[in-house]
Structure 1
Amino acid sequence: MIERAERHAALHFASLSTASGAACNESKDDLHGWDYIVEIPPTRNPNRLPDKQPRIITALVQIKSTTKNRLITRIKLSNALKAIQSDLPCFIFMFSYNDDQIKIFGKHVWSEFSEIVLKKARQSEIHGSNSLHKKSISVLFEPSDEIQSSEIAQWIQRTVNEIGEDYASKKIRIRDKCGYEKRRYIVKFTLGPLDNIMQEISDHEIGYSEFLPATDFAVYDERFGIQSSYPEIFSQKGWAQFQTQGKNAILTISNQQVDKFELNA
């Protein structure tokens, strides 16, 4: 069995990456889980102008290792969330040392991984824990995730290129929409004070009054069907307006400082 598998895996990754022509910069002051920043030069296209050549691919990499049969590891939830929040491509590699063989497996931080992490982070907030660095998630590698040792840099490059030049915007879209398929906000408020609630609501519905007074107006973020513990916006007093027929609209909330908050309603 190999000694110091974790360190050996990191050095082996750097050696394999540089052998493929990539620049592999070790993280010397790491606070966010990255072991390397990898820069992969593109294949030059002789038919394109210099300023139209493909860009260098910069990726953030975390290295894990195992000497057991199960291809599973754990990473801090805080670091996993940072991988999703970064617009750069992020990868997790597993070096498996078993039966005198070294096998390499790779995971791309993309939609499936994002859903798992974002849901776990939201659940942690609901349970009253914002210390995500004290929590971890499991990352399971499948046999289909295996990568040939000579093709690490090429695999990273191919994975990023398959998504396209708008990689960052697609990753942002995944991050911003994941968990909001049903709805994004829950709005709560209390009507009043009203002297005669039924009469005043009826008067408002037929147009005798333009607004109704409201108190404790709160807008909560809802992700994966889980409401946030604290409102994104709160107002002790306000006004509400109702219509007899529903239609698409923009709900605009503002305060005396003219700060505005808009959402689809």
Structure 2
Amino acid sequence: MQDINLGPLGETEFTKLCLQVDLTIQKSQMDRTGWDFLVEFPWKPDNLSPQDILPAPLECKIQVKSTNEQRKRESITLSNLHRLIKAKIPAFYCFIEFDGKPEPQAIYLVHVGKEIIEKTLKRIRELENKENGYQLNKHTLDITYGDADRLVDITGQSLKHEIEKHIPEGMEKYIENKNQLLKTLGFENGRYEGTFTLASDDPIRDILDLSLGICKELDIDNSIIHDKRFGILSKTPYIERDGGILSLKVKPLEAELKFKEYKFSPGISFPANLYISPFNEFIPEERIKIRVESRFFEFIIESNQNINFSIRSYAEGSSLKELKNFLQVMTILEKSSSPIIVEMKSEIPTSYPILSFSLEDLPQSLFDPSIFNDPAYNWSKVHELAEMAIEICRKMDIPENEVLINIEELIRSFRTSGNIQLLYQALSGNVESVNLLFSVEPPGYQQGAKAAIIFFVTFYIGNYIIGCCLALIGSLSILGEQPSLTGEKFLRGRQFIGTDKTILIKEKESIDLGLNELKEELQNEELAFIHIKS
């Protein structure tokens, strides 16, 4: 066997094995592509499925290596390996041992799978930064094989079975998995690493503010970014430029803010976001800070317990319930002579305990009535309006979480329409304080007589429009030289609720019917009737 060329002999033996089990082989004309044979399996019969939807038959590329030694190791050029790992279809090395005999004594099939792909990619990346590292044909990688790779026997059936074992889910899934490996191996800890110089007089402050979402972007003087794989930076920068803008995608943790007037009071809760900077472990401890924000409140808490507190009075998109809770907190702050307790809870690392602190020495600007554009209002007054709106919604089966409203809209609802006050009094049964004044004396007016005013009220609460047919029964009198009706009883008729602004136009006939129903209900009582539409 000393004078025999093992290469052709091994290829001949491999060809025989393939032909035994009806595997089609195509020989590579020149050994420059990293493989010797393209092996194609026959279609897999399936009598249960139409032929047009059968999965593609298996195929793979195989490099045959023949040896007289038993060292179980072969040095393969990186250029050869590079081609095989990048091949979309499965690839194998077939090692045939002759041990000085004319027939194969053992055959080993090594799958070019995750382990070999990872070793090859890492070695190529390592060589990139070395001289002539791009000449992959001048560098090798050892491929080892052992008992786990050995065919059970030297037959075509064993070879076929061993190939199939590595492609259990078919070609389509195999190719998908291999592509995913090629895209992700070595990038587990990120794909890029860069350095940049901030245009700032305090870079630590600014990068913290960026990572906490306090600011959205920062100006950069210059930046260099490298592709990084297996922790090794690319020789050539991926990006290198002067100037630019740095922004971060900040993802907060879910949290809860709770405001408590006393230590053991139940408190008022708000969903919140907690921002913890990923740069905290790299900066001096005294510079560390965190940020907590809800729709209405923001806290920036520094390691020295310095707390910056701010509110967003006119936050959009809040529900009536959340707005009422905010106004309740502000009312407590406005009236209380003691500090309010704030607790923050979140599923955060154990190094960050549950936060609890007191708010005191708040700036008086928080309680400046000018914030409401009307000196008649303060936090307590606006909170009362929210309570009234909540009561109306509850009585009329409107989910308060679905009513979207801000402070400005809440004040406008009560300021521009007395109807909302009337309906609130009708719903709460508070009729004694109701006096309707007439600018002119209505027909049939007689002081002291019993009368009923039937009318339709309509108004907005946030995104909801509300209409209701009402009847106020009472006594006609003179109040401040004006004819009036002093209320004794309310009757409530049909109501109309929705977020469609055209609902009252569409329901005009129903509204008229509702007013007539109230009149019919009171028909047997000796009352003067006055109709008002508002």
Superposition TM-score tier, normalisation by shorter sequence: 0.7 to 0.9
Cα contact 1:23–1:39 (8 A) shared by 2: yes
- CA shift in 2, pair 1:233/1:12, >3 Å: same
SS of the residue corresponding to residue 25 of structure 2 reads: strand
- CA shift, 1:221, in A, is 1.4
Map of 1:5 onto structure 2 = 6
Q: How does 1:52-67 map to 2 (within 5 A)?
A: 52-67=53-68
Map of 1:218 onto structure 2 = 224
1:135 maps to 2:150: no
1:109 maps to 2:122: no
Map of 1:123 onto structure 2 = 126
Which deviates further from its counterpart, 149-158 or 113-122?
149-158
For 1:48 and 1:189, locate their aligned partners in 2 and report how far apart those are by CA, in whole Å. 59
SS of the residue corresponding to residue 91 of structure 1 reads: strand
Map of 1:37 onto structure 2 = 38
For 1:199 and 1:115, locate their aligned partners in 2 and report how far apart those are by CA, in whole Å. 38
SS of the residue corresponding to residue 175 of structure 2 reads: helix
Equivalent position amino acid for 1:56 in 2: P
Q: How does 1:89-238 map to 2 (within 5 A)?
A: 89-98=90-99, 100=101, 101-128=104-131, 129-147=133-151, 148-150=153-155, 151-161=158-168, 165-192=172-199, 197-198=201-202, 205=209, 211-238=217-244
Cα contact 2:77–2:139 (8 A) shared by 1: yes
Equivalent position amino acid for 1:225 in 2: G
- CA shift, 1:74, in A, is 1.4
Structure 2 unaligned runs (5+)?
251-273, 279-534
Cα contact 2:93–2:112 (8 A) shared by 1: yes
SS of the residue corresponding to residue 95 of structure 1 reads: strand
Cα contact 2:56–2:170 (8 A) shared by 1: no
SS of the residue corresponding to residue 84 of structure 1 reads: helix
Cα contact 1:61–1:92 (8 A) shared by 2: yes
For 1:20 and 1:152, locate their aligned partners in 2 and report how far apart those are by CA, in whole Å. 9
SS of the residue corresponding to residue 32 of structure 1 reads: coil
For 1:68 and 1:171, locate their aligned partners in 2 and report how far apart those are by CA, in whole Å. 32
- In the TM superposition, what whole-angstrom CA distance separates every residue of 1:52-73 from its partner, at most 9, and x where no partner exists? 2232212111011111121211
- CA shift, 1:166, in A, is 0.7
- CA shift, 1:81, in A, is 1.6
Cα contact 2:55–2:170 (8 A) shared by 1: no
Cα contact 1:189–1:215 (8 A) shared by 2: yes
For 2:161 and 2:108, locate their aligned partners in 1 and report how far apart those are by CA, in whole Å. 14
Equivalent position amino acid for 1:143 in 2: D
For 1:202 and 1:157, locate their aligned partners in 2 and report how far apart those are by CA, in whole Å. 57
Equivalent position amino acid for 1:145 in 2: D
SS of the residue corresponding to residue 166 of structure 1 reads: helix
For 2:214 and 2:149, locate their aligned partners in 1 and report how far apart those are by CA, in whole Å. 66
- CA shift in 2, pair 1:44/1:235, >3 Å: same
- CA shift, 1:138, in A, is 0.6
- In the TM superposition, what whole-angstrom CA distance separates every residue of 1:96-152 from its partner, at most 9, and x where no partner exists? 111635211011111111111111111111224111111111111102211132122
For 1:144 and 1:155, locate their aligned partners in 2 and report how far apart those are by CA, in whole Å. 11
- CA shift, 1:34, in A, is 1.1
For 1:117 and 1:202, locate their aligned partners in 2 and report how far apart those are by CA, in whole Å. 41
For 1:225 and 1:185, locate their aligned partners in 2 and report how far apart those are by CA, in whole Å. 10
SS of the residue corresponding to residue 168 of structure 2 reads: helix
Cα contact 1:204–1:212 (8 A) shared by 2: no
- Percent identity at matched positions? 24
Which deviates further from its counterpart, 146-155 or 239-248?
239-248
- CA shift in 2, pair 1:239/1:133, >3 Å: same
- In the TM superposition, what whole-angstrom CA distance separates every residue of 1:37-65 from its partner, at most 9, and x where no partner exists? 11111330111111122322121110111
Equivalent position amino acid for 1:213 in 2: D
- CA shift in 2, pair 1:4/1:191, >3 Å: same
- CA shift in 2, pair 1:160/1:143, >3 Å: same
Equivalent position amino acid for 1:38 in 2: V
For 2:34 and 2:106, locate their aligned partners in 1 and report how far apart those are by CA, in whole Å. 22
Give the count of matched residue pairs: 245
Cα contact 2:44–2:57 (8 A) shared by 1: no
Cα contact 2:68–2:100 (8 A) shared by 1: no
For 1:34 and 1:203, locate their aligned partners in 2 and report how far apart those are by CA, in whole Å. 52
- CA shift in 2, pair 1:123/1:209, >3 Å: closer
Which deviates further from its counterpart, 204-213 or 32-41?
204-213
- CA shift, 1:29, in A, is 3.5
TM-score, structure 2 length as denominator?
A: 0.42
